[in-house]
Structure 1
Amino acid sequence: MSSRINTILIIGGTSGIGEALARRFHGMGKTVIVTGRNKAKLATLEKELHGISTRQFDITDFAALPTHIASLLEAFPQLDSVMINSGIQKSFNLYDPSSITADEIKVEINTNLTAPTLLARLFAPHLLGLASKGTKTTLFVTSSSLGFIPLSFYPTYCSTKAGVHALTLILRQQLSFAPEEAQKNMNIVEIVPPYTDTGLDQDHREATIAMQGGKEKAFPAMPLEEYIGKFFEVLEQVEPDGSLKKELGVGFGQMGADTWRGSFGKIYAQMGLST
């Protein structure tokens, strides 16, 4: 439910899904802060979207992250929503070491999983504190349909997005230890996009299409505008208690989330654990 969002930080908002969400939230009158590495893209957003705020930093510069986040929270003490959205994708063959370097694999893991985990650690106490005082807060973390249904083309991407899915479950379980008021007001939401037409796979799209047998057989990408429209439709849907849906899935992403909830989710329920 978008009405609970007043001030939102989008980490990784200079391109693709992140940028499109930033533009839509800004158009809804929300206070929007965007981070990214590309100074020129951040400047373009500031020029085109009156009143938007930006911060330039690299989420894989782990030593500097605490300083950057402290500065953000000092500037926006009422920040109620954080969206961790950054990600990169490589396509390679684990049986062919020449198809990728060890350093490239490390960068992908750091960007897609290590950084979101560190960012969650830095933002969760702030959001929990506001929630304890009655403010509705939300931590959004973007995974992928490939975190539920991995495909051979993207070894590290699928693995890291599965890790992000696990991260959101753990965040909810640990939230269940917090005071009741905080639990009631804070939501942990996993964003689960399908294959969407962005620049994420621009370096290997043609190759992966060929590996699938050509355009007639390859998985089609959902147009970005269509995805954003459906995302906001799902965002307005709520659970019976008024909280946001635990997974904001669209298309193939929702299929993956529903399948997980219908199988492993039931095991957690039998264990009495939050999911």
Structure 2
Amino acid sequence: MTSRINTILIVGGTTGIGEQLVRRFHALGKKVIVTGRNQANLTTLAQELNGLETRQFDVVDFSTLQSHVTGILNDFPNLDTVLINAGIQKSFSFFDPSSIAAGEIEREIATNLTAPTLLVQAFAPHLLSLASKGTPATLFVTSSTLGLLPMGLWPSYSASKAGVHAIALSLRQQIAFAGEEAKKNFDVVEIVPPYVDTELDKEHREATIAAQGENAFPPMPLQEYIDQFFKALDETEADGRPKKEIGVGMGAMVVQTWRDSFGKVFEQFGMAT
């Protein structure tokens, strides 16, 4: 699939999985634009990666989100791939109000679900236009294993990532009614990571490991995840199309389980998934 990507925007690409995706796509010779909240991190990446384009903004500043999208599309009219990756994770107990402030829950859901939904709305018409003219276009959205297999230690994170999964399905169903060229050229790919060793859970890792006790499981090393991700990225469906989900490790297991169960239900109703 990497061969169909020429210019890619990675939203939320200055740390963790996002940063490594930026580095790998850049190493593959792709034109890469990366966004993030931290200008210092963006500057460091740009200094290390020749030709990297950066845009600094916060995806939960909804009053300016559309203007940032418009600016990117004006600067890169041939943008054929958008990867929405920004996310934060909180761990708390519903029975302990002191474990998290309400505002933190609001920001987590805004970052993980509201912002991706608005970004899909903002970029989808552009990608549809390219696809309708015969140019392959791809929209990646990052959900999580926890979006398909929620766990009580991360309640609002699991719920928000389940929402991202639903957005991916909904967009595919809308593309199915957008014309033959769009159906042929516009792909929506859901990225379903397992537990990966990044800073996503740095605030509560020790506490959640302790809460799991002997059932605690270690995170996958980041570079191992990236290597497996790019291997899976170039695998295809039986019809030769890009894979609808890229699941690695536990992510692959939950994706296959979903496909074998709820996916069959959608097929019975003749709905795209």
What TM-score do you get using the length of structure 2 for normalisation? Answer: 0.99
Show the counterpart of 2:216. 218
Show the counterpart of 1:189. 189
Show the counterpart of 2:125. 125
Show the counterpart of 2:72. 72
Where in structure 2 are the equivalents of 1:94-173 lying within 5 Å? 94-173=94-173
3-state SS of paired residue (2:87):
coil
Equivalent AA in structure 1 for residue 165 of structure 2? H
Instruction: Give how far 1:217 is off.
Output: 3.4
The answer on 1:256 being equivalent to 2:254 is yes
Instruction: Give how far 1:148 is off.
Output: 0.7
2-side partners of 1:206 and 1:102: how far apart?
Answer: 22
Equivalent AA in structure 2 for residue 19 of structure 1? E
Instruction: Give how far 1:152 is off.
Output: 1.0
3-state SS of paired residue (2:63):
coil
Structure 1: segments with no counterpart, 5+ residues: none
2-side partners of 1:86 and 1:265: how far apart?
Answer: 27
Show the counterpart of 1:83. 83
3-state SS of paired residue (1:111):
helix
2-side partners of 1:63 and 1:127: how far apart?
Answer: 23
Runs of 4+ in structure 1 deviating by more than 4 angstroms, as ranges, are none
Query: Number of paired residues?
Result: 273
Structure 2: segments with no counterpart, 5+ residues: none
Show the counterpart of 1:19. 19
Equivalent AA in structure 2 for residue 167 of structure 1? I
1-side partners of 2:139 and 2:157: how far apart?
Answer: 21
2-side partners of 1:88 and 1:265: how far apart?
Answer: 28
Instruction: Give how far 1:241 is off.
Output: 2.8
3-state SS of paired residue (1:64):
helix
1-side partners of 2:227 and 2:142: how far apart?
Answer: 17
1-side partners of 2:65 and 2:241: how far apart?
Answer: 30
| Equivalent in 235, 238, 251 of residue 236 of structure 2 | 238
Instruction: Give how far 1:39 is off.
Output: 0.3
